[in-house]
Amino acid sequence: PGPTGCTGDCGGDAAVTVDEILTMVNIALGSAAPTSCTAGDASGDGEVTVDEILTAVNNALNGCQA
Higher-confidence residue of 24 and 3: namely 24
Contact 7, 42 (CB under 8 A): yes
pLDDT beyond 90 at 65:
no
> Which three-class secondary structure string do you get for 4-49?
CCCCCCCCCCCCCCHHHHHHHHHHHHCCCCHHHHHHHCCCCCCCCC
15-50 pLDDT, tens digit per residue, is 999 999 999 999 999 999 999 999 999 999 999 999
